[in-house]
Amino acid sequence: MTKRTLFDKIWDAHVVTAVPNGPTQLYIDRHYCHEVTSPQAFDGLRKRGLKVFRPEKTTLSPDHNIPTLLQDQPIKDLISKHQVDTLTRNANEFGLTMYGLGHSKNGIIHVIGPENGLTLPGMTIVCGDSHTSTHGAFGSIAFGIGTSEVEMVLASQCILQPRPKTMRITFNGKLKSGVTAKDLALYMISQLTTGGATGYFVEYAGEAIRALSMEERMTVCNLSIEMGARGGMIAPDETTYYYIKRREFAPKDEAWDKALAYWKTLPTDEGAVFDRAIAFDASAIEPMITYGTNPGMGISIHSSIPTLDEIDPAGRISFEKAMTYMGFTPGEKIEGKSIDYVFLGSCTNGRIEDFRVFASFVKGKKKAEHVIAWLVPGSWAVEKQIRAEGLDKILEEAGFALRQPGCSACLAMNDDKVPAGKYAVSTSNRNFEGRQGPGARTLLAGPLVAAAAAITGKITDPKNI
Amino acid sequence: MEKFQTLTSTCVPLPIENVDTDQIIPARFLKATTREGFGANLFADWRYDKSGQPISNFVLNNSTYSGQALVAGKNFGSGSSREHAAWALAGYGFKVVVSSFFADIFKGNALNNGVLPVVVSDVFLLELFAAIQVDPTTTITVNLEQQTISNNASGVVETFEINPYKKECLLHGLDDIDYLLSKKDAIEAWEKAH
């Protein structure tokens, strides 16, 4: 029998038809929707006089535009309010499940899907959001789509997709203590560049990946898009099943046994061929931080920013533009630079484990006075867990306050904007120009490096405190 | 969707690599609930200063350059899946984007909105940038049926790849939903079998 990859098995099982000389018509098991990329899709349905084909397979949550303070009050930004209200209206009109503002299940769509057991191994999952790749951590094919495709899924529960190539990225060895999944991902993107995996669907494998918790696996898969990959995935194992079994919408009893038996057939067959395979030594990875304006511009916290000579000639205009924007000089050290803001949150690092890591580091210490820190749980369930574990008290004693869940400063569609020229150590996913506010200077890092920066007010190796 | 067959046009050069969709249309402009009006904010943070005044050295504010073809550095459209990026380019009046490499989601979004991403070789791209710099009236001709792009200054012609199905859609102005809606029986059959 042909040896197949995890990707091949799930893809093949979801092919409805193949367009001659064209893309595949793929059936979608789960569709997530937020307020920013869906209104035009619902409008499209109305114009064509269509209903949602399989309403039970779509789940909505407003997350991008919502404030992270005073969520019980009407949203002050009227344009944001209109977009959030439009999502509610569409949910009602088309009979869809929505976890709106004030609902105990509200939160960032990529956080609430997994924590409610809506994301399962073997599924095809899409959302009008590039970080849909997060859900691949469960051994599913999950990827971001545009609004026209959101409309296709709503209308037919299918989309047309060319089959991507497959890539396996293996992390051999163990991560050093004090090195997080975010560091692993930033290291990988710095090696592959932001376009290095374009056209591919990635499977992460190896000892260091197996050792990761589900939260950490989600961080890695979430960042797949930052090297251009269509998505990233990790074969399900006992860690996956243990995480899912406790979740509200996960299969129960006989259905669980049946599902589990199927999930166990999914991992890549021994000897299956990938279009490309690369390997890294996980034990060589140091805490990482980015210095430039794309997520591929990452270095170990002890390293210097590259000099112009080290940059490929074709990329020098962009590199110099990034240096000017960031206010950095090529060749200088990044450690010890003063920072102004710290953001803990987003679909990349807004889960309970990220708050545990951050809280355990700042416990008994004090936030640097000049640093403004935004700690934004990824969902209300995460917020509740933070309080249940008493992490909120630890954070408060160290001078931090929790905000309310949402995408927040990751893309600054709400009021959480970093002012022009200010430096933010951010656990989010993108350091593009203006991403956290016009002129804002973003340094991407993991929750541990962010915690160290919040305490010292400088870019600091957490090990040195 | 509007049909696309051929285009001969002058070019707007943007010789920057890794232009991400946050630059094409910054997030704060994504709050609209229709597809219209995004062209005014295309490249907003490079195009306007804090007070909303045009920044004179940005290419869209330089009357020397105009046309329906944007020529951009390698890896255009990376980052967010926002289709608003394609709407902004189309809304501004671009019908073609030429680069040596495109991000996947952007490419799909562009094709779904009648904007043709044309992948050329690094050499073709560099020569085109140089030709535009020497003579801003330099034109390119893109022929979708033939899958060719020509630099009309040098006469160099390259062929480009496009999925045959997407090509047919663009040539005839059809979109994917028409196809999917015609496959309802197949979808229901798939559901029964699973």
How high is the pLDDT of residue A21? 85
Percent of chain A with pLDDT over 90: 97
- Which residues in chain B touch residue A44, judged by CB atoms under 8 angstroms apart? 177
User: Would the pLDDT of A1 be above 80?
Assistant: no
Neighbours of B110 (CB within 10 A): 24
- Are B30 and A128 in contact (CB < 8 Å)? no
The residue written with tokens 């893109």 in the block is B142
Per-residue burial over A396-426, b = 16 or more CB atoms within 10 Å of its CB, e = otherwise: eebbbebbbbbbbbbbbbbebbbeeebbbbb
- Flag whether the ipTM exceeds 0.90: yes
Half-sphere exposure of B147 (CA within 13 A, CB side): 11
How high is the pLDDT of residue A352? 98
- Are B81 and A435 in contact (CB < 8 Å)? no
- Are A158 and B180 in contact (CB < 8 Å)? yes
Burial class (CB in 10 A: 0-12, 13-18, 19+), A436: buried
- Which residues in chain B touch residue A50, judged by CB atoms under 8 angstroms apart? 181
- Are B180 and A435 in contact (CB < 8 Å)? no
Which residue on chain B is closest to A223 by alpha carbon? B79
- Are A130 and B79 in contact (CB < 8 Å)? yes
Give the three-state DSSP class for B119.
strand
Q: For residue A280, what are the β-bridge partners?
A: A171
User: Would the pLDDT of A138 be above 90?
Assistant: yes
Closest CA–CA distance from residue B137 to any residue of chain A (Å): 24
Residue-wise pLDDT for A406-428, tens only, equals: 999 999 999 999 999 999 999 99
Question: What is the total residue count of chain B?
Answer: 194
Judge contact between B65 and B13, C-beta under 8 A: yes
- Which residues in chain B touch residue A132, judged by CB atoms under 8 angstroms apart? 81
User: Would the pLDDT of B86 be above 90?
Assistant: yes
Detail the DSSP E strand segments found in A237-380. Answer: 276-281, 288-290, 298-300, 341-344, 372-375
The reply to whether A390 touches chain B by the CB within 8 Å rule is no
- Pairwise CA distance, residues A3 & A275, whole Å: 13
User: Region A295-319: what's the mean pLDDT?
Assistant: 94
- Pairwise CA distance, residues B155 & B141, whole Å: 10
Residue-wise pLDDT for B108-160, tens only, equals: 999 999 999 999 999 999 999 999 999 999 999 999 999 999 999 999 999 99
CB proximity list for A256: less than 8 A, separation 6 or greater: A245, A250
User: Would the pLDDT of A39 be above 90?
Assistant: yes
**pTM exceeds 0.95 for this model:** yes
- Pairwise CA distance, residues A297 & A190, whole Å: 6
- Which residues in chain A touch residue B17, judged by CB atoms under 8 angstroms apart? 314-315, 317-318
- Pairwise CA distance, residues A391 & A385, whole Å: 9
Q: Which of A35, A148, A150, A324 to mutate to test the interface with B (most CBs of B within 10 A)?
A: A148
Closest CA–CA distance from residue B127 to any residue of chain A (Å): 13
Judge contact between B18 and B75, C-beta under 8 A: yes
Strands lying side by side in the sheet with A141-144: A97-98, A58-60, A30-33, A124-127, A141-144
Which residue on chain B is closest to A15 by alpha carbon? B190
Judge contact between B158 and B119, C-beta under 8 A: no
Q: Which of A10, A19, A66 to mutate to test the interface with B (most CBs of B within 10 A)?
A: A19
